[in-house]
Amino acid sequence: MTETDFQKVKVNQSRLMQSLHETCQWGTGERWGPAPTETGMARLALSDTDKQARDWFVETTQKLGCKTMVDVMGNIFAVRPGKNKDAPPTYAGSHLDTQPTGGRYDGILGVHAGVEMLRVIQELDIQTEYPVGVVNWTNEEGARFPKSMVSSGVWAEDIPLEDAHNLVEVGGSTATMKSELQRIGYLGTVPASYRSMPMAAHFELHIEQGPILEANCQKIGIVTGVQAYKWFTIDVKGRDAHTGTTPFSSRADALLLAARMIVHAQHVAASMDALASTGILQTFPGSTNTVHGHVRFSLDIRSPLDETVEALEATLRKDFDALAAGGPSLFAHAAPHGGVPLSVSWQTDTVSPATRFHPDCIEAVRQSASSVLNDSAGTLSRTITSGAGHDSVYAARHCPTSMIFVPCRDGVSHNPTEYCAPEDCSIGAEVLCQSVLRYDRLRAGGV
């Protein structure tokens, strides 16, 4: 393809948005406005509504001439043949599952843009040199089964299959990933491995999930990498006691100590120019008139630098032990958590080192953004690092990878009001389509 040919690659904005919003009938979440599309999404991985979205993806891509394959983690690969039918495909990929109070664009836009790419290629009768495809990754969010990007992690052979299959649903259910894959009919037979399902490259379109593009009136983020992060489950154990008969000096209040740890993590992270967050808090026994003897909470720490994440973890481990023992803290002015020492233990759930994307894929995105935006000076786009983890992190470990960001209103994501303007969705989809086609030309020896 020539530059003139690339200029002809135009997505159908109304079709893209209609397709996206129609599939949001499966797992519709909280309403935030009067328009039919002004709702969030609650389409948790491997739920009945996720099955409906998956069925749509398989049926739609097969009608577009793709062969679909499902691996043992439920990842769905839809592949359109190229002239060289035996070579690994160049993929566009993302996910169809959402947060419990998520929006209509996180992950969903990336999959729909991939499907729109297939439609455009078919309409323009483009014969690629190599196969191209779209992949829907399972449980990217980690909201229902608490390990984010777990299925791409199994594909990358970084997460053991047994560990992933045995993940138990959050909230006290006994359902596991394997049992739910079986229940909805998406426990495939293909091994979940980059060896069995190789990729020549992986491109992912995603909303930025931050405010930078919108604040700078820019349309495309050319993503060069993803910051490092770790997830932990932390157990604080003290002693159950009666709230009316136990003085402060005799308490071992696990909830009060956990609260102090969470606040302390924020202070330390801020001092290191890093981030720390707690999203899950479980208290036991959970009675109004009982001092809590056991609290479990999640801790998410992040930084663009691996060494900062390591330093933050080391500091928090030391400080949490000191707090549990009743040592000096930021809260000397407050009532003590008790005169009885408590214990704290850590479980490491996810380790995601900083990721650097491939220069060939980054350049394909850069050239495509310039072409789509008619912006040779690059003023409407910018290079950017992703603050959030994505399946592209694991893809990048075994094939050239990059991402494309588009602005979202107020930088809001993981929220029902998450919104990306139709124009920006279509611009991003066009950049995605061109990027995949440019990479196909590069593989064939073009420049």
Tell me the CATH number at 400: 3.40.630.10
Pair (374, 271) in one structural domain? no
Chain-centroid distance of CA 19 in Å reads 21
370 and 331 within one domain: no
Task: Tell me the average pLDDT across 29-34.
Answer: 97
Q: Give the chain's mean pLDDT.
A: 95
Q: Spell out the residues 6+ positions from residue 40 whose beta carbon is closer than 8 angstroms to its own.
A: 28, 29, 30, 31, 32, 101, 102, 103, 104, 415, 416, 417, 418
Closest CA to 203 of 135, 261, 260, 131: 135
Listed range (2-11, 65-74, 114-123, 134-143) with the worst mean pLDDT: 2-11
Work out the average pLDDT over 255-267: 97
**Does 218 lie in the same domain as 292?**
no
If asked whether residues 328 and 364 sit together in one domain, one would say no
Tell me: do 137 and 206 sit in the same domain: yes
Q: 189: number of CA atoms within 13 Å, CB side?
A: 1
Which letter does DSSP use for residue 336 in this model?
Answer: P
pLDDT at 102: 98
**Can you spell out the DSSP letters for 215-262?**
HTT-SEEEEEEE-EEEEEEEEEE-B-EETTT--GGG-B-HHHHHHHHH
Distance separating the N- and C-terminal Cα atoms of the chain? 10
Domain boundary among 298, 326, 352: 352
pLDDT of residue 333: 45
Q: pLDDT-derived band of residue 194, with 50, 70 and 90 as boundaries? A: very high
Instruction: Provide the strand spans (E) within 325-400.
Output: 343-352, 355-356, 381-386
- The whole-number pLDDT of residue 330 equals 47
Co-location of 414 and 359 in the same domain: yes
Burial of 329 (0-12, 13-18, 19+ CB in 10 A): middle
The rounded distance, in Å, linking the Cα atoms of 54 and 217 is 35
Domain containing 319 equals 228-352
Last-in-domain residue among 295, 329, 352: 352
The answer to whether residues 147 and 259 belong to one domain is: no
SS3 of residue 396 by DSSP: coil
372, 268 contact by CB (below 8 A):
no
Instruction: Tell me the pTM.
Output: 0.85
Using the 3D structure, point to which of 352, 383, 403 is the last residue of a domain.
352
Q: State the average pLDDT over residues 157-185.
A: 96
User: What is the spatial distance between Cα 281 and Cα 299, in angstroms, rounded to a whole number?
Assistant: 10
Neighbours of 162 (CB within 10 A): 9
Q: Domain total for the chain?
A: 2
- Residue 350 has phi, psi (to 5 degrees) of -145, 135
With contact defined as beta carbons under 8 Å apart, do 137 and 391 qualify? yes
Residues 407 and 346 in one domain: no
CATH code, domain carrying 234? 3.30.70.360
Q: Are residues 194 and 170 in the same domain?
A: yes
For the chain, give me the number of helices (H) and strands (E)? 13, 18
- Do both 75 and 191 map to the same domain? yes
Dig out the tokens for 174 from the structure: 């006994």
pLDDT at res. 336: 52
Which class for 353: exposed (0-12), middle (13-18), buried (19 or more C-beta within 10 A)?
A: middle
Q: Are residues 52 and 200 in the same domain?
A: yes
Query: Is residue 7 located within the same domain as residue 131?
Result: yes
- In angstroms, what CA-CA distances link 224 with 354, 383, 401, 430? 11, 7, 9, 19
pLDDT at site 332: 46
Read off the pLDDT of each residue in 83-87 and give the average, rounded to a whole number.
Answer: 94
Q: pLDDT digits over 294-353, tens only? A: 999 999 999 999 999 999 999 999 999 999 998 554 444 445 556 688 999 999 988 889
Q: Is a pLDDT exceeding 80 seen at residue 446? A: no
Q: How far, in Å, CA of 383 to CA of 412, rounded?
A: 20
Q: Residue 447 and residue 153: Cα distance in Å, rounded?
A: 32
What is the separation of C-alpha 302 from the centre of its chain, rounded to a whole number of angstroms?
14
| Residues ≥6 apart with Cβ < 8 Å to 113 | 11, 16, 92, 205, 425, 428, 429, 432, 433
Q: CB-side exposure of 227: number of CA atoms within 13 Å?
A: 19
